[in-house]
Structure formats: C-alpha cells, structure tokens
Structure 1
Amino acid sequence: MTDAFIDIPGVRNFRDAGGIGALRRGVLYRSGSFHTLTEEGARRLKSLGLRTVIDLRSEFELDVWPDQRYDLDHETLGLPTLPPHPKGSDRPWPEDQAALYPFMASTAGPSLAAVVRRLAAPQSLAAVVHCAVGKDRTGLTIAVLQSLLGASEAEITADFLLSNIGLGLDKGPTPYVDETGTERLSRPVDAELLVSSLAWIHDRHGTIPGYLHHHGATEAEVEAVRANLAN
C-alpha cells in the first residue's frame, strides 16, 4: 500500500493528498467521514495539526452520521457537493457512476469555490476534505485542488484510484447500508469517471480557475491557495 495512507482508527480511506505537482505533504488530507472516529483516531488527527474539516456530505447524512470530535478543536465546514434531496425523492442523484461524475461537476461549483475560499486562509491548514467514504465527492474536490497546484492528469488520476485500495474495492464491489437504511453496492472507481468530471468543467469553463471564478472564487483566492499549499 502506498505511503500516502495514514492509519486513523475509525476513519476510512484517510490519506495525504500531497506529494504531486507542487502540493506539499502534510497540509491537505482526504478521507471518509469521522462518524466512527475513535479516541485514538482523534489523538492521531490532533498530531497532524488538523485545523479545518471540510465535509461534503448532505445535511441528511450529517443528521444520520454526525462526525465525532472528542477534544479536537478544528473548524468544520459543511459544503455539500450535491444538491439537497427534493421532496418526494430520497435519491435524486444519478445511481449510475458514469452519469454521477458529470452531474457532480455541474453541481459542485459553489462548494468548490467555498473550499478555495477557506483554504486561501493560512490559518486553515492542515485541512481534511471528506464525504462518506472519500471516493466520489472527495475525489472530484481533491482533483480540482491538485490541478490548481500543477499536478498532471496522470498524477491526479493515480491518486484518485487509490480509493479502490483504501476501501477494499480493488477486489470488486462491496455492499453497504446508506444513510436511508437501504443496502447498496459501493463500486470501484476508474480513470474515465474522473476524466468525465474534469472534461465537463473544461468544456464549459475552459479551465479549472475559470470554473472557480464563475462560482465566485476570486483570482486572489486561487493564488492564495496555491501559495498556502505549495512546496
């Protein structure tokens, strides 16, 4: 297993997002949710200097599976990647992974701009971005940040695919119970999924910064993120 993974008891798929492009190690992490975080896990998070947790889950997920904190004093920001569930539907989001990734790109702009705004502040680091298991919503968010720091598509994709190892999906789909109590299958990710999200952004906005600017992130904020996260 790659040395990007860090053992945080009670947190799945926790790893350092740095070490590619100009993004340095020890400032930006990615993971699944903290709802089963243990006291030992909290101690290890504290040793990383964690100051910001960016939670990409829906309000409903937060109600069902709130993050555990123990004595951690980080700031938590809830910045949902996907829109809220409309009345009369408990799963409005595409079930098919191939459809989900462009859909995420189409809805994640405000969340991603807010992520940039937060990470533009020097006191925000170290930060962790997480969703439920750190695979899809987290995958897109981290890919955008790594792209801002000059990582190549090949590097970004290789990091994205590590979630298959971190979640045990390298052996195939695994069952899980979602926030509504429904049993579903968690499926491995492949490179084409992330590429489809990034292609959606480039087709409509030209560049990642252009996409972020469209949703309210300023050039100064984008540059501040680069400065804060760079080697």
Structure 2
Amino acid sequence: MTLELDAIPDLDNPADADRVLRLPGALNLRDVGGYPAAGERRVRRRTLLRSAAMHGLGDEARATLAQIQVRTVVDLREDTEVAHEPNALGRLPITTVRMPLYSSGSPLPATDAATDAGTGEAGENAPGTGAAAAEGVRAAQAAGLEMDLGAIYTFILDNKGDRLTAAVLALAEPKALPAIVHCSAGKDRTGLTIMLVLDLLGVPDEVIVRDYALTAELLHDEAIAALRRLTAVTSGAGDARKLPANLMEAPPELIRAALDRVRASHGGARGYLLAHGATAEQLDALTEALLVADDPA
C-alpha cells in the first residue's frame, strides 16, 4: 500500500518530504523522524509519530499503521476520554500504554481570576488540583474568558513530571518502537511529551518549536471539536460548545517557555526525566534507538 503523504514546506529539507500522514480518520498524525539531532545524527524515520485521538481510524489507516509496523501507542488521555472515544486499532498487534496525565478534573486551568472565582482555599478544590482546574473551566466559560495555556503547561511540568517521564520511558521498552504518542487533539499533552523526547535527542530548539506549532496549521475545526468533547467529559461544563477562542492556538512562545522552564529547573529534558524516575541507561537506550547517523547527501 502506498502511503498518502504531504510535505510541510516550512519544515522541509530533502529528508523531510513525507512528514504528515493524511489518512481518513487519522488527525494530526505526523512523523518526527528526520529532524537534525546531536552528534551529527537525525531522528530515525517512521519510528516516533505523534497524533490526535485515533477513534476514527478505518481500514486504510489501520493498514498504514501495520505497514509502518507500529508496535506501541502511548495514550495520554483520561479514562473518561478513552471511554467516550476508544481508539479504533482493531486487531492490530499494538500494545497500548495508558498514561493519563491527570487523575481527576480537567487539564485546562483558566485565567487566575476565573480560577479564583471557582475554587476554595483547601481540600479537593484547592488551587492546583484537578477539581480546581475543572471549576476554572466552568468559570472561564461562563465569563467568556480565555484560557491561560501557559498555566496548563506549567501545571503539567510542575505537577505531572512522573507521568510525563513514564510516557517517555514507555518508548524505551524493548521492542516498543515504532510508536505513536497521542492525546485528544495531539497538541498540549502530546506536545510536551514530544518536546521532552526531542530535547533529549538534541534536536535544535527552533525545530522543536516549529514541530509543535504545526498543529495549528494541520488541525483546526477537528481539534476544536475534540477539545469541546474533552471539556464536556472531564469538567462537566454545561455548554461544551462555548470554548475560549485561544484554546486551539499553538503559539511558539508557549513551547519556548516550556523548554526554558525545564532548562532552568533541571538543565534540560535529560535532567528533568532523571529527576522524575528515569535512569541514565534507559535514556541512553532510547536515544540510541531513535537516532541514526546523518546522511550528508
């Protein structure tokens, strides 16, 4: 079967002409292979992919995943999301690793004012908890406020490092690759996970930022629909159609700030992952599995 692929001109070099996989039911599915990395190497092709949820996959898309020989899917979604839209992998011999980044509530903290309006000072509604975030969503929606996407990323990095690390380490398991990492829209949770992997591999910051920003170009209406469903399912928001306009943005400065935060606190992705349970041997094995020598041609 011939893959249906498209180029993303702003990211292309001669080695990156087939980055995006445009397949029925597969949204925001793309390969991070081919990116330049440390030591005059590149990320191995068709080995690590990122995606939105895969509940809409049909026979054609499943055949493509079989052709790529995908072995592992790392699903970052919550139990409620998975129950609502389970992945349609069929009988493919793929191991699904469930790694939800939140234990309760919504992953979408609102502006400070909205969050303060919807939370108490202690207990399960205390600021920074899932319940507080859920209340923030409701308050922001009711007031028509924008979501603080930077706060989402800060919350994940500061509070969910163990789960982010476990998601990355799932890729280091023997025979785990090729693998796909995904959440609902393939933007925020997936974006941070892939950011850590690419920084670990020594991919230049500008490439990491541009890879993250591709979501805004590749996925809009479909991702908004996915996030509406996510908000309704995880936060209990009354009107899931009433989403803040900025929720589907992928501003480059957000992922730059996330990189800066990881560097400031841990010296980079390697230090961050080591601090949250990874071993040097695991990270070295993942690096070797994901990198190949650069082809000067």
Shorter-chain TM-score above 0.5: yes
Secondary structure at the counterpart of residue 208 of structure 2: helix
| 2:168–2:193 Cα contact (<8 Å) kept | no
State the percentage of identical aligned residues: 32
Secondary structure at the counterpart of residue 91 of structure 2: coil
Corresponding residue of 2:119:
none
> How do 1:92-171 and structure 2 match up within 5 A?
95-168=147-220
TM-score (norm 2): 0.71
Corresponding residue of 1:51:
71
| 1:116–1:221 Cα contact (<8 Å) kept | no
Q: Partner letter of residue 82 of structure 1?
A: Y
Q: Residue 191 of structure 1: CA displacement?
A: 0.9
Structure of greater relative contact order (alpha carbons < 8 Å, 6+ residues apart): 1
* Counterpart check, 1:10 vs 2:25: yes
Q: Show structure 1 runs of 4+ deviating over 3 A.
A: 86-90, 92-95, 173-176
Q: Which has the larger radius of gyration?
A: 2
Please, which of 219, 222, 228 is the counterpart of residue 177 of structure 1?
228
Partners in 1 of 2:88 and 2:136 — Cα distance?
Answer: 26
Q: Residue 213 of structure 1: CA displacement?
A: 1.0
| 2:33–2:44 Cα contact (<8 Å) kept | yes
* Counterpart check, 1:19 vs 2:34: yes
Unaligned residue ranges in structure 2 (runs of 5+): 1-6, 9-17, 107-123, 126-130, 138-146, 234-239, 293-297
RMSD of equivalent CA atoms = 2.2
Unaligned residue ranges in structure 1 (runs of 5+): none
Corresponding residue of 2:89:
69
Corresponding residue of 1:221:
282
| 1:113–1:216 Cα contact (<8 Å) kept | yes
Q: Identify if the C-alpha distance between structure 1 residues 92 and 129 changes in structure 2 by more than 3 Å, giving closer, same or farther.
A: farther
Partners in 2 of 1:118 and 1:106 — Cα distance?
Answer: 20
Q: Identify if the C-alpha distance between structure 1 residues 53 and 174 changes in structure 2 by more than 3 Å, giving closer, same or farther.
A: closer
